[in-house]
Structure 1
Amino acid sequence: MHARAVAATTTALLGTATLLAPTPDARAGDVGEQPRIVAHRGASAYAPENTLPAIDEAARLGFSWVENDVQRTKDGVLVVIHDDSLKRTTNVEKVFPGRAPWKVKDFTAAEIARLDAGSWFGPGYAGTHVPTLKQYMSRVESNHEKLLLEIKNPELYPGIEHQTLGLLGNEGWLDRPHLGRLIVQSFSADSLRIVHDLKPGLTTGFLGTPPPRDLYRYARFTDLINPSYGTISGSYVATVHAFHGPHGRRLGVYTWTVNDAATAWTVTRYGVDGVITNKPDVVWAALTGY
Structure 2
Amino acid sequence: MHHSLARTVTAAALLGVSGFVTMPAHAAPEALPSPTVFAHRGASTEAPENTLAAVRRAHEQHITWIENDVQRTKDGALVVIHDTTLARTTDVEQVFPDRSPWRVADFTLAEIQRLDAGGWFAPRYRGEHIPTLLDYLTLLDRNRQGLLLELKQPDLYPGIEKQTIATLARAGWLDADHLTGRLVIQSFSAPALRRTHELRPAVETGFLGSPPVSRLKEYAAFADQINPDEKNVTFAYVTAVHGLRGPDGKPLRVNAWTVDDLTTAIRMAALGADGIITNRPDVIRNGVQ
CA contact under 8 A between 2:38 and 2:67: conserved in structure 1? yes
CA offsets 1:62-81 (integer angstroms, 9 cap, x no match): 11100000000000000000
CA contact under 8 A between 2:3 and 2:34: conserved in structure 1? no
Residue identity (%): 53
Unaligned segments of structure 1, at least 5 residues: 18-31
Partners of 1:4 and 1:189 in 2: CA distance: 28
CA contact under 8 A between 1:10 and 1:271: conserved in structure 2? no
Partners of 1:50 and 1:15 in 2: CA distance: 34
CA contact under 8 A between 2:15 and 2:267: conserved in structure 1? no
Q: What does residue 183 of structure 1 align with? A: 184
Q: What does residue 163 of structure 2 align with? A: 163
Partners of 2:85 and 2:14 in 1: CA distance: 43
Q: What does residue 86 of structure 1 align with? A: 86
Partners of 2:14 and 2:49 in 1: CA distance: 32
Partners of 1:206 and 1:15 in 2: CA distance: 28
1:207 equivalenced with 2:208 (yes/no):
yes
Q: What does residue 100 of structure 1 align with? A: 100
Q: 1:236: how far off? A: 0.9
Q: 1:12: how far off? A: 4.8
1:126 equivalenced with 2:97 (yes/no):
no
TM-score by length of 2: 0.91
Q: Runs ≥4 in structure 1, deviation > 4 angstroms?
A: 2-5
What one-letter code is carried by the residue in structure 1 that aligns with 2:169? Answer: G
CA offsets 1:83-132 (integer angstroms, 9 cap, x no match): 00000000000000001000000000000000000011000100000000
Q: What does residue 110 of structure 2 align with? A: 110
CA offsets 1:30-69 (integer angstroms, 9 cap, x no match): xx73000000000101100000000100100011100000
What one-letter code is carried by the residue in structure 2 that aligns with 1:163? Answer: Q
Q: What does residue 75 of structure 1 align with? A: 75
Q: What does residue 27 of structure 2 align with? A: none
Aligned length: 272
Q: What does residue 24 of structure 2 align with? A: none
What one-letter code is carried by the residue in structure 2 that aligns with 1:252? Answer: R
Q: What does residue 27 of structure 1 align with? A: none
Partners of 1:117 and 1:232 in 2: CA distance: 34
Partners of 1:218 and 1:196 in 2: CA distance: 11
- Written as runs of structure 1 = structure 2, the 5 A alignment for 1:130-145 is 130-145=130-145
1:255 equivalenced with 2:256 (yes/no):
yes
Q: What does residue 218 of structure 1 align with? A: 219
Q: Would the alpha carbon gap of residues 129 and 148 (structure 1) be closer, same or farther in structure 2, given more than 3 Å must change?
A: same
Q: 1:143: how far off? A: 1.0
TM-score by length of 1: 0.90
Partners of 1:253 and 1:141 in 2: CA distance: 25
1:239 equivalenced with 2:247 (yes/no):
no
Compare 44-53 and 234-243 and name the one that shifted more.
234-243
Partners of 2:288 and 2:157 in 1: CA distance: 39
Q: Would the alpha carbon gap of residues 15 and 235 (structure 1) be closer, same or farther in structure 2, given more than 3 Å must change?
A: closer
